[in-house]
Every structure is written in C-alpha cells, then in structure tokens.
Amino acid sequence: MIQNEMSRRRLLGLGVGLGAAASMTLAGCGGGSSSPDKAGSAGNGGKDYTGPKVDLKLWNGFTGGDGDIFKTLVQQFNSEHQNIAVSVVTYQWEDYYSKLPGAVSSGNGPDIAVMHMDQLATFAARGTISELDDVAKNLELSEGDFAPTVWKGGLYNEKRYGIPLDMHPLGFYYNKAVMQKAGLDPNKPPATKDEYTAALTELKKSGVQGFWVSPFQFTGGMTYYSLLHQWGGKLFDDEVAKATFNSDPAVEACTWLVDLIKQGHSPANVGQDADYLAFKSGKNAFNWNGIWQINDLKKSANVEWGVAPLPQIGSQQAAWANSHNFTIVKQRSANENKVSGAKVFINWLSQHSLDWAKGGQVPARKAVREGADFKALTEVNALAPELEYAAFPPATPGLGEVILTFYNAFNEAALNKKSPKQALDDGVAKANKQLEDNRKKYGN
C-alpha cells in the first residue's frame, strides 16, 4: 500500500520531464488547422446526450486507493447511461504525461483526460485539449460554485480548458501518542510558529526529533513551497518572466526550515519517504504531507494520529496544493457525438464529487464542501479550509521543469551542500534560463 501510494503521487505537483516530450511531439498533435476543433459546438454542454451509443476512452493516473473509487464511479455512470460507455486506462502519473503527447499525435489518445491544474496551460498551448467554455456556460457553472483559486486555475489565455474536480493540499499530521509521551496535549496540535517551536523543544527533551525535514520534493520541497508563501514570497514575478524564489522572504523561510536540522529537531539526510514512515512508527511527531495519506493512516490501526491545516509559521496562511481537472482531448477527426458524451460524463462526475472525496480529496464544488455529508468525512474535511489560501502554480506553459529546479535548489540547501541563499540564487539563475527557453518554445 505504501509503495503504491508513494509511486502514485510522484507527479502530483509537476510534470517532470514533460517539456522535452512536449517539444518533440505536441506540435504535431490534433490541433490547429490540421485538426478542426468542434468540441465547443458539440451538444448542449453536458446537460444530456441522446445520440447513438459512443465508446469513450478516459486516461487517468489514479493507481492508489482513489483509483478503485474512481473506477466504481465510472461503472455507476455507465450503468445509468446506456448510450455512453466509458473505459478507463490508468498509468502511473510519472508515465502518464510522457505517454499522452505521443498517443494524441498518433491518433491513439483518449477522449477524456484527467489533468493536474499545473499541466493545463502546457497542453492548451500546444493545442492538445479543447476549450470547455460552453460546458461552464450551459451548466451555469461560475466562480461562485467553486473556490476562486481552483476555478481560475482551469483558465489559460482567458479560455477554460479544465473543469475542476477536487483540490488536494498539504496537511499537518500529528502523532498523538508521541505528543502525549512528551507531555504535550495530543488534542491541541501547534498552530503558530511559537507553538510549533515550543512543541519541538519539548519533544527534543523527551529524546524525539519531532519534525523530520525531507530534502526531497515529497515532502520537504512541498513544505518549503508552503513556507515560502507563508513568508509572503512567490516563486515567480507577476508576469512569470523571472524566478523570485531567492527573495529575502524565500531565503528566510528556507533558513528556518534548514535550521531545524542544525538544531537537532530533524536528522540530516532524511531518505525519501522516511519522514512519513518514521511518523507511522512513532519516531517523530509531526509530518507535513498530502491529503492522500489520510486513507493510508485510517488503515493503520496501531497509529494514534490527527490531521489539521498547516501551522502558520510565517506572516500569513498558505499551503501547497494542486487540483485534478477534467479535459477533453482534441482528435484528428472530431466526433461531435463523442464530445457530447464526454461532456455529460464530466458534468456527472463533477456532481458526484462527494463520492470522490472519500478517496481523500477536497471537492471543488462549493455546495458539496458545505454539505453535511462532506463534513461527516472528518479527516478530509479538516483540510477543506486550506482551499481558501492554497498556493497554486500560475497557468503558464512549461512550468513543470522550472518548478523542479526550485525543488532541486531546496534539496541542495537541506542536504547542506550549499547555504540557503547560495542554493536559491543558483536555482533562480537556472530557472530564469528555463523561463526564457519556454517563452521561445510556447510563444509567450
């Protein structure tokens, strides 16, 4: 379970290696003048479909426990729609984004693709996915139905390419048994910088290194991403022309996190996922990790744990987050019936996002989040407030590899290969070159 879960979510935050594949294959995929896009005019935007039976291929990367829930929902949809048959193809996320461009260009791509918010702009810029403004219009969806950050994340060049399904943020997990042994109240996790520091001090007195700082993207990089925004910093300027993650707030946030290692609150050179495994085995007390770990912990009967929004260490609340969106893939020969059927499926599953939330996701739809049934999902609902201040990456093509440079810079600081300032300065220099190359590649 753990191994599958760790592998499943490697690319929740970015499309590692996507840029190279996109530059070689996306330009030839089904878009532009060589492939007419009739998706915008097909059907009535997902209200219903009364045409002949269509078979739809859907690609996704849900290989963990959420995959079973997703497949169950698809089966329910198929049973309720005799003229639409959706078949699910599942890949590891790390394979998914590299396979998709070539499949589309060869005419073997899916009809529907689940895509992370930070990938939409790249695929939209290359003409791989269709505009979905008519879906939002005909179903009378608006920003008011969703959290503003999630709703706006589906836009590229003021056109909608994704219908948001959920939001998955970083959460604060605390081991109640370890806290209690250190004399801390297991039902009152620290929520501020002072409380957090005080708790780590008490844990250290009891012989526990309370918060293991991972040097890897999962989870230390995402922790630093959150802290940078809590300190008021940003990864890029407003035009996404220059990287800014070496600003004074960014350096201060990185230094605070790295100093936890120097102060003995964390071992040095923490291995990949060792922080989470140590949390489960009672070797540390706190773990900043994704909402997707809730279901794993619920199956761990020997772990006394709780989950809460991230503590506010900086001057404002912020948390790393991403979002799954539904997209419709352009085809060499557009089939209006298939496009109409795809829109019906997207609308249906969006309306059933409460069932999807049981897989460990915060529903994108406001009405679902505010309903009593979702609030009964105690652990998942505990992270719902983070939706209002989630720190999403900007909608700019080709950012996956640039953000990877950001994570690599943090890795060098966390491993004490460079000072935080030097690591971030070097990372920004490389990132700026990547941003310049992206402007040439994508025409922005």
Q: What angle separates helix 248-262 from helix 222-230, to the nearest 10 degrees?
A: 130
| Same fold yes or no, 2-165+323-351 and 169-321+398-442 | yes
372-410: pLDDT as tens digits = 999 999 999 999 999 989 999 888 999 989 999 999 999
Superfamily classification of domain 2-165+323-351: Periplasmic binding protein-like II (3.40.190.10)
The residues, ordered by sequence, that sit 6+ positions from 29 with a Cβ below 8 Å of its Cβ are 35, 101, 104, 105, 109, 126, 127, 128, 330
Q: Give the pLDDT of residue 25.
A: 35
Could you confirm whether domain 169-321+398-442 is CATH 3.40.190.10? yes
Q: Give the pLDDT of residue 93.
A: 86
The span from the first CA to the last CA of the chain, in angstroms, equals 42
- Give residue limits of the domains in the chain: 2-165+323-351, 169-321+398-442
The two three-digit tokens of residue 106, written as one number:
């060869």
Q: What angle separates helix 336-351 from helix 65-80, to the nearest 10 degrees?
A: 120
pTM above 0.85, yes or no: yes
* Closest to 409 measured CA to CA, from 394, 419, 397: 419
Distance (Å, rounded) from C-alpha 262 to C-alpha 13? 28
* Closest to 236 measured CA to CA, from 419, 418, 427: 427
Q: Give the pLDDT of residue 117.
A: 93
* Number of other CB atoms surrounding residue 179 within 10 Å: 26
Q: Cis peptide before 219, with omega less than 30 degrees from 0?
A: yes
* Number of other CB atoms surrounding residue 263 within 10 Å: 13
Distance (Å, rounded) from C-alpha 128 to C-alpha 32? 9
Contact at 8 Å (CB) between 254 and 413? yes
The residues, ordered by sequence, that sit 6+ positions from 20 with a Cβ below 8 Å of its Cβ are none
Q: Give the pLDDT of residue 63.
A: 86
Q: Give the pLDDT of residue 414.
A: 98
Q: Provide φ and ψ at 221, rounded to 5°.
A: -60, -40
Question: Exposed (0-12), middle (13-18) or buried (19+): which is 192, by Cβ within 10 Å?
Answer: exposed
**Residue ranges of the chain with pLDDT lower than 70?**
1-43, 444
Distance (Å, rounded) from C-alpha 300 to C-alpha 306? 12
Contact at 8 Å (CB) between 314 and 231? yes
**Distance, CA of 92 to chain centre:** 15
* Closest to 289 measured CA to CA, from 299, 274, 308, 276: 276
- Mean pLDDT value across the chain: 89
Q: Give the pLDDT of residue 432.
A: 98
